Amino acid sequence: MITNDADTDISPGDRARVASVQRRTLTVLSVGQISGGIGVAVGATFSSVTVERLSGSTALSGLAGTATVLGAALLALPTARSSGRGGRRAGLTLAYGCALAGCLVSLLAVTVHSWLLLLAGLVLFGAASAANLSSRYSATDLSPPGHSARHLSLVVWATTIGAVTGPNFAEPVERFGVELGLAPGSGPFALALVSFAIALGVVLAGMRPDPLLLARSLARPAPPRGDDSTGTTAATGVTGPAEITAVTGVTAVTGATGEAATAPASSGPAGTGTSPAEPPARTGGTFRTGWRVLRRTPAAVRALAAIAVGHTAMVSVMSMTPVHLDHGGATYTVIGVVISLHIAGMYMFSPVVGWLTDRAGRVVVLVVGMGLLLASVVLAGGAGAHDVGPVTAGLFLLGLGWSCTLIAGSAMLSESVTLEHRTAVQGLSDLLMNVCGATGTVLAGLIVGGLSFGVLGAAVGVMVTVTGLWLVLPLLRTASRPAGRVP
């Protein structure tokens, strides 16, 4: 197990050192996202084609995507558990290590022409997606007050580079692999193997000190010294250096959520505190710990629901859009352009979304995201199979709405729980996000196959509208509360 670093012995008052560690962490995570994103994008693009070629069945090709999503879901909690025990570096190492094993199994499957073995490899391959999702949370551990969403969004944005460039390298790598004697079709998995190895190397070498371990070290109460050099955090009664909050946003119960029971106002800090009244995160399983914390943290429930609904809406509509356009006779080039613009909406404006989230508040951006998702399904779902323009505009808004729910929801989730329980709740969030995405894809296929693309749009529209109203209710209650009344 990867454990503590000597470099975590940093004084809470050494603000410049903490800020330097955070900049280094963001750089390492971004480089890892670019490299890992190449492998994830290549796998998503070519795995279904490879399954079809090996099995001879178009129907079975869809299992490739199911296998990778299943892998991401299965590795979400182990990655979170490893992060909680040994730090973010340990969790990312586990995830990328499993992804490397998946690449090796996939290469073997292509060599022996076994589509069943390939599906097994793709389950492990999906761990790379778990690593990419976990990386966004790693960006918030040392974020200063009011900057967690911006820092998180920078790591999300870095995924764009790998997602866009990755598939373009697959063909030359395939030719090079054949020249080296690899089986035809091995190129994409060989490329993914290299990209995941680079990402793993960057994390192992560069993420020192570990941001989560350092945040815990800074949040640890200092022993009483009997003088005025220690401060007391009012929410917990824990005595420790008063300047910790100024450096890392350490408070006992934090979050930019507007939920009075769990967090301060939306301009609050990143929230890296611990409370002696709460049991350690490793008591019981990660799932049980995360679920227990969620049950008593309304703000975290809202954040998780927004993330899950936003992801379900995006995956459901996006997965069936190529089918809808194909029914209208659209070429692969047209479909490719539509999906490329959708991906641009997902990632390109992430820094803007992060800045807006920190300035306007998490719940506000979540509601805006639900509104964008509703607008997207009205445009795309109401358009015919030949109406490429409205479908393209709808898919772009779909990606932008997803970006709002992911970034604002992830920041709100992290800030709503104590540092000790954060990895458990984050792992549970990624698990539910992937499960909902996979379920949404299956249901979307059934709806479009049995009814129509428009009905799918209407169903998603109802889902995001109800969620948006549910999210905005606390804001309306706060606004209607008489001035001077203490909640």
Bridge partners, 410 (sequence order): none
DSSP string, 64-110: HHHHHHHHHHHHHHHHHHHHHHH-HHHHHHHHHHHHHHHHHHHHHHH
Q: What is the pLDDT of residues 103-160, one digit of tens each?
A: 999 999 999 999 999 999 999 999 998 898 888 888 888 888 778 888 888 888 888 8
DSSP state of 208: -
Give residue 181's pLDDT: 81
Burial class (CB in 10 A: 0-12, 13-18, 19+), 169: middle
Give residue 31's pLDDT: 94
Choose the weakest-confidence range: 80-84, 125-129, 279-283, 389-393.
279-283
Q: Which residue has the tokens 């750089």?
A: 27
pLDDT band at 271 (very low <50, low <70, confident <90, very high): very low
pLDDT band at 252 (very low <50, low <70, confident <90, very high): very low
Section 67-81 average pLDDT: 87
Give residue 345's pLDDT: 86
More confident of the two residues 483 and 100: 100
CB 18 within 8 A of CB 218: yes
Give residue 300's pLDDT: 87
Give residue 112's pLDDT: 93
pLDDT band at 327 (very low <50, low <70, confident <90, very high): confident
Among 203-217, 231-245, 275-289, name the most confident range.
203-217
Q: Which amino acid is at 121?
A: G
Upstream peptide bond of 280 is cis (omega within 30 degrees of 0):
no
CB 78 within 8 A of CB 93: no
Which structure tokens are listed for 125? 């391959």
More confident of the two residues 96 and 58: 96
Q: What is the pLDDT of residues 349-399, one digit of tens each?
A: 899 999 999 888 889 999 999 999 999 999 988 888 778 888 889 999 999
Does the pTM of the predicted model rise above 0.75?
no
Q: What is the pLDDT of residues 42-51, one digit of tens each?
A: 887 778 778 8
Kindly give the residue spans of alpha helices, DSSP state H, lying in 348-452. Answer: 350-360, 362-381, 388-416, 419-450
Section 69-91 average pLDDT: 88
Residue 51 neighbours by CB under 8 Å, 6+ apart: 60, 61, 63, 64, 115, 118, 119
Q: Which residue has the tokens 């054949």?
A: 178
Cα dihedral 213, 216, 218, 220 sign: negative
Per-chain mean pLDDT for the chain: 78
pLDDT band at 401 (very low <50, low <70, confident <90, very high): very high
